[in-house]
Structure 1
């Protein structure tokens, strides 16, 4: 059974703990929907000052909404459009301090001010993206970027 954990260490240590929790949570489970659902719930519980966390899954040349925590969201995002579509087409993490300054930003939740999107790559193939929004500008720093990329790497082992 999963237990809530207190994250009282340094930021990197807390991320390392949540990645360890992810591995324990997903061990032995191969269902993609179940694993993405638990991963989004885990991040929602772990991260503060966010208003949306979830996944978009690659299908053809677009992203389709997957498991998430937060308000209802856009269902389809073409590659190259918005922060998620840009991360998918470039296969590179997008860390946006102010979404209103991002050309073509897709506003699913008007409260979102900053965003980070991490591509999910398995054997060089794009599976989808991890998308996290915050109601604060400049919420995500370089440590968040590096550790969320590590989280995504661990996650794709179970997809």
Structure 2
């Protein structure tokens, strides 16, 4: 599916398709602005949490850590495992299994954002699932690198 990142409805429809393909209920796409991540689109995040995820510093929360480390970050059960990666407010999403991957520039030199998905049951994402989501993020990186 071709995504028009200038059209919020196109991005929302694309994210809904990504969530469906992973059987997930929540998803976020953030775009980097320096050492910060700005929310582009979300599905399934409770309204009261939107101010907390609208702008995330690198290194904070699952998305921020994925951006900082430049690698996938996963939590099997967000409701129990906060281990310093997820913020305590993350429990309010009612999401258990979650995965965030960095969106890198086409040459891999820059972090352009993050893509995150979550499901309402505990889930260990397989290497294939991590690779698939990273591939989707790489496609975004190619698009954003050219913009």
TM-score under structure 2 length normalisation: 0.77
Q: Work out whether 1:78 is the aligned partner of 2:57.
A: yes
What is the CA RMSD across the aligned residues, in angstroms? 2.2
Gaps of 5+ in 1: 1-21
Deviations 1:92-111 (A, max 9, x none): 11122122323141217431
Return the TM-score normalized by structure 1.
Answer: 0.72
Q: Which residue of 2 aligns with 1:112?
A: 95
Question: Any residues of structure 2 matched to 1:1-159 within 5 Å, and which?
Answer: 22=1, 25-26=2-3, 29=4, 31=6, 36-48=11-23, 50-71=24-45, 72=47, 73=50, 74-99=53-78, 100-101=80-81, 102-106=83-87, 107=90, 109-122=92-105, 123=107, 124-159=109-144
How far off its partner does 1:39 sit?
2.7
Structure 2 unpaired stretches of 5+: none
Question: How far, CA to CA, are the matches of 1:95 and 1:151 in structure 2?
Answer: 16
Q: Would you say how many aligned residue pairs link Structure 1 and Structure 2? A: 133
Question: Which 4+ runs in 1 deviate beyond 3 A?
Answer: 29-38
